[in-house]
A and B are shown apart, each in its own frame.
Chain A
Amino acid sequence: MSNNIVVEARDLTVRFDGVVALDNVNLKLQRNELRCLIGPNGAGKSTFFKCLAGMQLPTSGEMIVEGEATTGYDPFRVARLGIGIKTQVPSVMDGLSVHENIWLAARRTQSTRKANGIVDDILGRLKLGDLARQDVSTLAHGQRQIVELGIVLAGDPWLVLLDEPAAGLTGDEVERMVNVIKEINDYATLIVVEHDMHFIRQIAKMVTVFHQGRVLIEEDVDTVLSDPIVRDVYLGKRR
């Protein structure tokens, strides 16, 4: 793999009324990488995610995507760079069908006819065919997560950001999610924010651990998971 950096955070800092959520975070991401961001509650990983997605304006520092400074971009401009974003609490269009949700995502860049084709393809890939005409507000949490993933995929992104994709999924669904993530990684770069260590173990290659707004460690998954400091952070031990 070439040394091709697609996402770079430079001294990213976010403060909320005196609370420092992110403290001078520097992070680099290479093309086609699958990067997991982990850390305990309040570690700053979701804030970092939001800065990248355009949902949070950093207090200082810069976010650079493929050489373009995206700091202060609105979410739609970030999305138009070809970035697919799945939020923490599933953000889907309640009141509309599964098909319509995915169609709207596909139609942004495609003609109506092509969008229809893309929707059928994604419904098949995610095994959502039976639910296609159902209103998403009637679906269970896990199904909504999958629908949101479908929405993200419909935009044909080269960079996919997933915030807690495994939260609230059943065992079967987790397995499906793992497979889909690996499949996406064949052609796209991924950033996955996750709590679930079991899930991380199944997908992760490189892991960045956040702690108290800083990057604690950035290593491959085995090193990170056997690191005593990481264990302490997760178990809440004082160092």
Chain B
Amino acid sequence: MALLPLGVDTFTLTVLCIYALLGLSLGFIWGFGGILCFGQAAFFGLGAYAYAIAAINFGTPWAPFFIAIIFPALIAAVFGGMLFFGRLNDVYLAVLTLVFTLILYKFMNVTAGENYIIGKARLGGYNGIPGFETLSLPWDPSEYIYGDSLFYFSLSLLLLVFLGLRWLLKSPFGRVMIGVRENELRAELMGYDVRLIKTAVFAIGGGVAGLAGCLYANWAEIVTPNLFSLGQSAEVIIWVIVGGAGTLFGPILGAAIMGYMKFLLGQQSLIDNTLVMGAVLVLAVLLLPRGIFPVIADRFTRKTGRERTTRSRSSRKRPTRKRHRRREGSNEQ
């Protein structure tokens, strides 16, 4: 493999691709939809569990593959719908998404008993679900997709999702969605149903996270409640911040870099790796508040003198720092 000198094999590269997909899902809803979800791992975990449970019940991999995308997207639509139609603001939204993944985490941990069975699949509590059918070639079920081919499969899906989201952002829906991020009230006064748009954005993010979870289940060949852990959710947010919120490529880069770092740090026992991750986050926020990718992109465009793209223009702004501009002019109530 080309990246072997870095000490990476395809097994690791595959999981980096999966992380990148997960990062992309949050980068999409946060960076472009303005929705800060503290529980993106919930949809990641739901995708993985949906795949495992469906694969055990059906015995074939491809229907579960699609279920693993659709099910989390539906859950995201219902859950997101409740939040957005309830007109909850950013902070409550973040807290509730956090609680949502915590509940799933706690629940999945206590499902060890005989009672927790979906069809033929036992949920297995903290031991998780092992031994389900993994992906194989549709025309030859005996030919499993694993190792190198799973990497190429994941990489192609990552590319496909990336291009799909880019296309979506250029479409009228995407443009409206960015408008909503910039000014919800104005979008509403234009006649757009902001609640519906945000629900749709959230559902798309849920679907992409579910796809990442599905690939993860195929990669690890086991699903455990740790997929829903707070650590996992927090990590995704860190990837997006470090890589660059407000861009699509940033979260991919952030996930790959941070994932790789975690992999390297995991090989030593001198220093706790969450400590290093935290330090990297702090440094990134202080030194590169817009994230790594926007800075690289800017430097590149300046050197080549190309005109700024829409993407790098919107990246100038972090969705978390909404500017409430009040100029001179009266403030009468």
Contacts and interface: CB of A to CB of B under 8 A. Distances in A.
Most buried by B among A21, A89, A94, A104: A104
A51 B333 CA distance: 13
Interface residues of A, number: 41
B328 A95 contact: no
Interface residues on B, range: 20 to 34
Contacts of B131: none
From B178, B313, B333, name the one whose CB has the most chain A CB atoms within 10 angstroms: B333
Interface string B167-210: 00000100110110011011111111110000000000000000
Nearest to A196: B330
B317 A79 contact: no
A42 B333 CA distance: 6
Residue with the greatest number of chain A CB neighbours at <10 A, chosen from B178, B189, B193, B314: B189
A89 B194 CA distance: 20
B329 A168 contact: yes
Contacts of B194: 76
Interface in A77-126: 79-80, 85, 87-89, 91-96, 100-101, 103-105, 107-109, 112
B303 interface: no
Contacts of A42: 332-333
A85 B186 CA distance: 9
A80 B182 contact: no
Interface of B: 172, 175-176, 178-179, 182-183, 185-194, 313-314, 316-317, 323, 325-333
A100 B331 CA distance: 27
Given A95-B182, A95-B314, A107-B172, A75 B331 contact: no
A189 interface: no
A75 to B, nearest CB: 4
Given A100-B175, A137-B323, A46 B332 contact: yes
A195 B329 CA distance: 11
B329 A107 contact: no
Nearest to B246: A95
A79 B185 contact: no
Contact of A167 (B186, B188, B191, B329): B329
Interface in A31-88: 41-42, 46-47, 53, 55, 74-76, 79-80, 85, 87-88
A104 B187 contact: yes
Contacts of A79: 188-191
B332 A88 contact: yes
5 contacts: A42-B333, A89-B325, A89-B326, A107-B175, A137-B323
Given A74-B188, A103-B175, 20 more contacts: A21-B333, A75-B185, A75-B188, A76-B193, A76-B194, A89-B326, A89-B327, A89-B329, A94-B183, A94-B323, A95-B314, A95-B316, A96-B179, A100-B175, A100-B179, A104-B187, A104-B190, A107-B175, A151-B186, A164-B332
B189 A91 contact: yes
Nearest to A42: B333
Nearest to B178: A96
A133 to B, nearest CB: 10
B183 A164 contact: no
A75 B189 CA distance: 6
A130 to B, nearest CB: 18
B172 A91 contact: no
Interface centre among B176, B316, B332 (most CB of A within 10 A): B332
Contacts of B172: 107, 112
A25 to B, nearest CB: 16
Nearest to B319: A95
Contact of A195 (B178, B189, B192, B332): B332
Contact of A108 (B185, B190, B313, B332): B190
A168 B187 CA distance: 23
Contacts of A74: 188
B182 to A, nearest CB: 4
A47 B186 contact: no
Nearest to A105: B190
A10 interface: no
Contacts of B190: 76, 79, 104-105, 108, 151, 155
